[in-house]
Chains A and B, each alone.
Chain A
Amino acid sequence: MSSTKEGLIGLSDSKKTFSFKGLFKNNYFLYALSLICFFLFWELVAVTFGKFLPRPIEVIDRVVYMFGHTLAGKTLLMHLWASLRRVFIGFAIATAIGIPLGLFMGFNKYVHAVVKPIFDLFKPMPPIAWISLAILWFGIGETSKIFIIVIGAVVPVVINSFNGIRLVDPDLYHVVKMLGGNHRDEIIQVSFPASLPAIFAGLQISLSMAWTTVLAAELVGAREGMGFIIIQGMNLSRVDQIIGGMFVIAITAWMISAVMTYLERWICPWKMQLKK
């Protein structure tokens, strides 16, 4: 990226000697400057409007405090685990339902004709909109949260599995046929490996979707979890707790996507070749 960018923007003539202007063309210097300005600005605003925004240091203090002390009987890590457990259970169920369903839709046009319209009926509703119905059905406990996580996470899995099968290059099937393979060979040797990158991309989307959905579910009603921490912060007028919780949530989201990217490289390395 950086090499093409240099060609793009024409930075190749950047000066070797130090100059003030050259400094402003250096990305890393700008990044550092920007972050410093951001936190200074935050600090300044916080000092002026003390009640509505805590200083950055207060947020860090609060996060550290929550690591060591319990809030509603649980430390920060236990709350984080409560949210993550819901995500993992919901995600596992969504995968177990979504991948086979998507694959069947891709392989069989009758299954596709039956399932697709019903699926299209549900797709435009944001998963969060299910929450009231879920609470009415299952109460405020774990089941209702896992239910809407499944609803939110299953959609990308199904769509990507279906498209993964459908968009397999037909030449690959022809090759298998020409080499004397039967229908089973087609499916095992071609369909699965060729659609795996798409399926995996669906899993990635679905996991980040699950993380968003669990937060929303916990905001509406929960006694533990990261959503609970920030809504509790709102109810107690503790902005440092809200912002601290948001940062923990952001770091978790970032880590989830980093792990998934790593797994993708490990499970389907041929995707990288396809991209080129």
Chain B
Amino acid sequence: MADGKSSKQLLKYLPYISVLCFLLTWELIVDLNVVPNSLLATPIQVVKLFFYKLTNIQPDGSILIVHIITSLKEALIGYSLALLIGIPLGLAMGWFTLAEGFARPIFELIRPIPPVAWIPLTIFWFGIGITGKAFIIFLSGMVPAVINSMVGVRMTNPTYIRMARTYGAKDWEIFKNICIPSALPMVFGGLQVALAASWTTLVAAELIAADTGLGFLITMGRRLLMPDMILLGMVLIGLTGVIIGIIVDKIEKRLVAGVRR
């Protein structure tokens, strides 16, 4: 029994030990010059640079918060556009033959193109500013939003629909009162997928052409041969992604409370 207890204790602390060991190894292989400092920065250097960049615009031209806000703004505009257009379109495509028949082929034509492949075209069309970025994010967020909304409506329990029809409900009433509520959990499932897709694409777009933003920070780090700046950019991208994910998850839980599970 004591053995079982100690193994449980071990399991509880093992994750922390593991992360600590990881950070320590990382710090040590650079400090002991196993990997030269020009190729990899230590965690401490990254943290130092973080505090330095909070107030200093050198060497890349903007303080950290500007980069973060730029990226967030681009992501937010594109993402909300994708939801505003994608969700209603997907819901309609799930229910109305006309909408499905008309939008489906074009959608299927665009769907297999990876969002990243749109980057050169958007840069050519809109330049490197916020319009182009928002457009790419819109495209990458739209596909999962449409698919999930459509599938959500399609998965409505047919019994409900037949019942409503028996009681004389119109097509539009069924759509509004039965299909949409029953599709909501699926729609919100799409939000997370769309978010992950958007965030990845944004980073790619900023890497290729931008003058501010977190992806740009990484590119500058490479150009200036500053591995600490590259790592800082990567960590911030990961962190921001996680935080937005948590926020979307919270909103989702609030809105569909009681529908799911």
Please give the residue numbers on chain A whose beta carbons come within 8 Å of chain B beta carbons, in ascending order.
1, 4-5, 7-11, 24-27, 29-31, 33-35, 37-38, 52, 109-110, 113-118, 121-122, 124-133, 135-137, 211-212, 215-216, 219-220, 227, 230-231, 233-234, 237, 239, 242-243, 245-247, 249-251, 253-254, 257
Contact = CB atoms under 8 A, between A and B. Distances in A.
A109 B238 CA distance: 26
A1 B94 CA distance: 12
Interface string B224-239: 0101001101110111
Nearest to A230: B120
A130 B165 CA distance: 54
Contacts of B235: 125
B97 interface: yes
B207 A128 contact: yes
A166 to B, nearest CB: 15
Interface in B5-47: 10-11, 14-19, 22, 39
A135 B211 CA distance: 20
Contacts of A250: 109, 112-113, 117
B257 to A, nearest CB: 26
Contact of B18 (A118, A126, A233): A118
A30 B18 contact: no
Most A Cβ at <10 Å: residue of B17, B102, B237? B102
Q: How large is the interface on B (under 10, 10 to 19, 20 to 34, 35 or more residues)?
A: 35 or more
Contacts of B22: 118, 121
A124 B242 contact: yes
Contacts of A34: 101-106
B241 A113 contact: no
A121 B207 contact: no
Interface of B: 10-11, 14-19, 22, 39, 95, 97-98, 100-106, 109, 112-121, 123-125, 154, 156, 158, 161-162, 165, 171, 199-200, 203-204, 207-208, 215, 218-219, 221-222, 225, 227, 230-231, 233-235, 237-239, 241-242, 245
When A and B form their complex, which 8 residue pairs have the shortest distance between CB atoms, in order from nearest? A30-B101, A113-B14, A234-B120, A132-B222, A126-B200, A124-B238, A125-B238, A250-B112
Contacts of B112: 250-251, 253-254, 257
Contacts of B124: 52, 234, 237, 239, 242
B218 A129 contact: yes
Given A25-B97, A31-B104, A115-B18, A136 B114 contact: no
12 contacts: A4-B158, A27-B97, A34-B105, A122-B238, A124-B245, A128-B200, A129-B233, A130-B234, A133-B227, A211-B114, A212-B200, A237-B124
A129 B221 CA distance: 12
A245 B119 CA distance: 12
Nearest to B38: A136
B238 A113 contact: no
Nearest to B233: A129
Contacts of B245: 124
Contact of B219 (A52, A130, A132): A132
